[in-house]
């Protein structure tokens, strides 16, 4: 059955073009012959609906649906909220700021959990990276933007929220009750390992986390660390600038990242500050599919400057800047205006799953070994949650051991002072 809402989106696009709204998005493109041919398709569809649809169409609803479909087709982080939706968003935000500790994106137009804060509310309740969020307190997320779903998850501290998720290991969605908690950056862990290896574990790159990283990095070096292991697995919080700050601790000079608009013009270029440089020790970075955003800026810079060996799985691929535009109608438009590139010109957030994200220098576990672990987990007699934790732990340990081997064999690059 053809979903009525999707039909409205398609047909409403004709109205947008008819009223001239699309010109604001496409500029000169609408002047091309191809655009006019597409316009004729929209107009023909509109005419058929106007004459043959079973009920008189609600033009306002069609227009808003078309705007939403048009904008959200751009990328996961662009969205359109009608006046009613924008007002509802503000109302929910005013009720409470406590959250559940999960970073969201979209995959195949579905809300997707990129990362779950270690020992945060969602993690303790059983939500996993890779879960698809299909409802929040019974409200479906199919036609919701990321900001809307995030606002549904938030509320007064200590209150509960029911998150309905779908995961590949289950045949039907699972309801998970989570107790909200005020946001607090995860602490940065550090310790000395055998072989004079200093370990830093960061699951967030917020301003507070960066302050901890600087202090603990200097402490490890003072304690005699001769090699460094930086664990950025499941790290998806923080701004691009904070990812650049992390890279700057290990890169003395040069570009750390730049952003570019649709015309290929550089919007911003961030370079290393020699005064913020701390260490030239050999460095290995652990990463996985839940490494995203600011952490990708950091690993992209470290990789391009040949400053570290990256070990683990390919990162998720979050690298764009958004602008919020309040429209005269009271609606809210959120659009990505620039994308982030690594120093050598690798785009972090690509439209295709194959090209998005940053690949490690050493994949761990390898494809065959990863498949073996999945098969072993399938035949594990433990219940689903215990089976999942065991699999994650085994993958984590193999990645960790690979990183230690790289450092022990002296394969990690080192940048000497100029």
Place of tokens 């090699």: 227
Confidence of residue 405 (pLDDT cuts 50, 70, 90): very high
pLDDT (0 to 100) of residue 162 = 97
Count of CB atoms situated within 10 Å of the CB of 367: 8
Say if CB 294 and CB 237 are below 8 A apart: yes
Nearest to 191 by CA among 226, 233, 232, 219: 219
**pLDDT single digits (tens) 40-51:** 776 777 677 777
Q: In what order do the strands lie in the sheet with 227-231?
A: 189-193, 197-201, 227-231, 283-287, 309-312, 362-363
Q: Quick one: average pLDDT of 103-107?
A: 93
Nearest to 258 by CA among 206, 315, 301: 301
Distance CA 171, CA 330 (A): 41
**pLDDT single digits (tens) 172-182:** 899 999 999 99
DSSP per-residue string spanning 333-345: EEEEEEEEE-TTS
Nearest to 251 by CA among 130, 42, 416: 416
- The answer on pLDDT for 415 being more than 60 is no
Alpha-carbon distances of 229 from 109, 189, 271, 278, rounded to whole Å = 36, 12, 23, 15
**3-class DSSP state for residue 234?**
coil
- The answer on pLDDT for 35 being more than 60 is no
Instruction: Return the higher-pLDDT residue of 104 and 59.
Output: 104
Instruction: Return the higher-pLDDT residue of 61 and 283.
Output: 283
- The answer on pLDDT for 417 being more than 70 is no
Portion of the chain with pLDDT greater than 70, in percent: 85
Confidence of residue 36 (pLDDT cuts 50, 70, 90): low
pLDDT (0 to 100) of residue 74 = 87
pLDDT (0 to 100) of residue 348 = 97
- The answer on pLDDT for 38 being more than 70 is no
Reading phi first (left if > 0) and then psi (alpha if -120 to 50, else beta), residue 119 is in left
- Among 65-69, 107-111, 237-241, which stretch is predicted with the lowest mean pLDDT? 65-69
Count of CB atoms situated within 10 Å of the CB of 334: 18
Confidence of residue 29 (pLDDT cuts 50, 70, 90): very low
- Among 14-23, 35-44, 318-327, which stretch is predicted with the lowest mean pLDDT? 14-23
Mean pLDDT over each residue of the chain, to the nearest integer: 85
DSSP per-residue string spanning 344-409: TS-BSS-SSTTTSS---SEESS-HHHHHHHHHHHHT--S-HHHHHHHHHHHHHHHHHHHHHHHHHT
DSSP annotation of 74 reads: T
Count of CB atoms situated within 10 Å of the CB of 76: 21
Please classify residue 119 by burial: count the beta carbons closer than 10 Å to its beta carbon, then call 0-12 exposed, 13-18 middle and 19+ buried.
exposed
- The answer on pLDDT for 294 being more than 90 is yes
Place of tokens 């009223």: 19
pLDDT (0 to 100) of residue 7 = 40
């Amino acid at each position: 059955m053809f979903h009525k809402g999707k039909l409205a989106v398609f047909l409403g696009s004709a109205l947008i073009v008819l009223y001239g709204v699309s010109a604001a998005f496409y500029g000169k493109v609408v002047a091309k012959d191809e655009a006019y041919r597409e316009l004729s398709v929209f107009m023909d569809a509109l005419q058929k609906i106007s004459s043959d649809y079973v009920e008189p169409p609600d033009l306002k609803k069609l227009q808003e649906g078309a705007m939403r479909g048009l904008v959200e087709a751009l990328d996961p982080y662009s969205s359109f909220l009608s006046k009613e939706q924008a007002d509802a968003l503000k109302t929910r935000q005013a009720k409470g700021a406590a959250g559940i500790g999960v970073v969201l994106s979209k995959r195949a137009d579905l809300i997707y959990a990129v990362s779950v804060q270690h020992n945060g509310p969602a993690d303790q309740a059983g939500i996993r990276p890779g879960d698809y969020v299909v409802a929040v307190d019974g409200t479906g997320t199919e036609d919701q933007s990321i900001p809307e779903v995030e606002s549904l998850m938030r509320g007064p501290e200590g209150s509960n929220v029911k998150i309905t998720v779908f995961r590949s290991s289950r045949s039907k969605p699972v309801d998970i009750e989570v107790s909200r908690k005020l946001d607090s950056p995860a602490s940065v862990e550090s310790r000395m390992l055998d072989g004079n290896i200093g370990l830093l574990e960061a699951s967030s790159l917020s301003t507070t986390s960066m302050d901890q990283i600087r202090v603990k990095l200097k402490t490890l070096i003072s304690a005699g660390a001769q090699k460094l292991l930086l664990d950025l697995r499941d790290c998806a919080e923080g701004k691009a600038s904070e990812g650049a700050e992390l890279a700057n601790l290990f890169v003395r000079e040069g570009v750390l990242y730049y952003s570019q608009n649709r015309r290929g013009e550089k919007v911003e270029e961030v370079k290393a500050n020699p005064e913020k440089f701390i260490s030239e020790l050999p460095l290995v970075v652990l990463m996985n599919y839940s490494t995203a955003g600011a952490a990708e800026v950091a690993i992209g810079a470290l990789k391009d400057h040949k400053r570290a060996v990256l070990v683990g799985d390919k990162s998720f691929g979050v690298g764009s800047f958004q602008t919020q535009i309040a429209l005269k109608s009271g609606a809210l438009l959120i659009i990505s205006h620039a994308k982030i590139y690594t120093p050598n010109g690798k785009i972090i957030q690509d439209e295709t799953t194959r090209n998005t994200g940053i690949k490690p220098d050493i994949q761990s576990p390898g494809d065959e070994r990863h498949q073996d672990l999945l098969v072993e987990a399938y035949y594990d007699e433990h219940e689903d949650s215990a089976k999942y934790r065991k699999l994650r732990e085994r993958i984590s340990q193999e990645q960790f051991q690979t990183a230690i081997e790289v450092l022990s064999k002296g394969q990690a690059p080192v940048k000497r002072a100029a």
